[in-house]
Amino acid sequence: MKGQALILARALSLVFRRRIDVPPGDAAIHYSRGIRPLFWVMLAVNPVDIVLVEVVVKSVPVRIALLVLEILGALAFLALVATLYKYPHSVGKDELRVRYLSSFDCRIPLASIDSVRQVSRSLRTRGTVSVPEDGVLAVGISQSTNLSVALREPLLVDLGRKGTVEITQLDFWADEPRDAVAAIRERLPASV
């Protein structure tokens, strides 16, 4: 929980500094265009909660406590929205980094990549990060992926509370899949 709070706070600091969490020279691969409006709507509803609490709750100490909690919740949610913009996937000289908000971060060495291609796939599994079939890790947006990375050999990926899985393929979403494929292929070692 403490680590998550630091990641969210860092996202807000990146907003104020007008930067993204991608090292110089690495290519950012954005993935959140399709879900950003939903997050903004959810954030916009927060003031309605505050007004409802003010109208419904009569006890002043309880109203103050709830107001503080609502403000802290709105700030945390704003930080979560910031992660959509500030923590994109990225590809550098050594690795492909696939993320989702502040809750998932997977690094794949470029030397482990056999191929990358644009392939649309609908996911029937629940959750953004899932294992729809043996050896495949999917990081979808709106239950879809549009890029597929095949690996040369199995790779262990830590899914946190879900445990560790061995994958041979990573499917994920990119807002601009053609550009993402080009950026990844451009950085693959010559032997790949």
For the entire predicted model, the pTM comes to: 0.81
CB 146 within 8 A of CB 179: no
Q: Could you tell me if 66 and 101 lie in one domain?
A: no
140-160 residue pLDDT tens: 988 899 999 999 999 999 988
Domain boundary among 53, 69, 86: 86
192 is a domain residue: no
Q: How many CB atoms lie within 10 A of CB 13?
A: 13
Looking at residue 17, its pLDDT comes to 83
128 is a domain residue: yes
Q: Could you tell me if 29 and 107 lie in one domain?
A: no
**Helix, strand or coil, per DSSP, at residue 32:** coil
Domain boundary among 54, 86, 118: 86
CB 100 within 8 A of CB 89: no
Q: Could you tell me if 113 and 78 lie in one domain?
A: no
**Helix, strand or coil, per DSSP, at residue 175:** coil
CB 60 within 8 A of CB 66: no
CB 189 within 8 A of CB 110: yes
118 is a domain residue: yes
Q: Could you tell me if 182 and 99 lie in one domain?
A: yes
Paired residues of 107 in beta bridges: 97
Q: Could you tell me if 23 and 101 lie in one domain?
A: no
Q: Could you tell me if 72 and 131 lie in one domain?
A: no
Count of the separate structural domains present in the chain: 2
Total number of residues shown for the chain: 192
Using 50, 70 and 90 to split pLDDT, how confident is the model at 53?
confident
Show the domain range for 155: 94-187
**Three-state SS sequence of 73-136:** HHHHHHHHHHHHHHCCEEECCCEEEEEECCCEEEEEEHHHEEEEEEEEEECCCCCCEEEEECCE
The CB-side HSE value for 62 (13 A sphere, CA atoms) comes to 7
88-137 residue pLDDT tens: 999 999 999 999 987 899 999 999 999 999 999 998 877 788 888 889 99
Q: Could you tell me if 111 and 148 lie in one domain?
A: yes
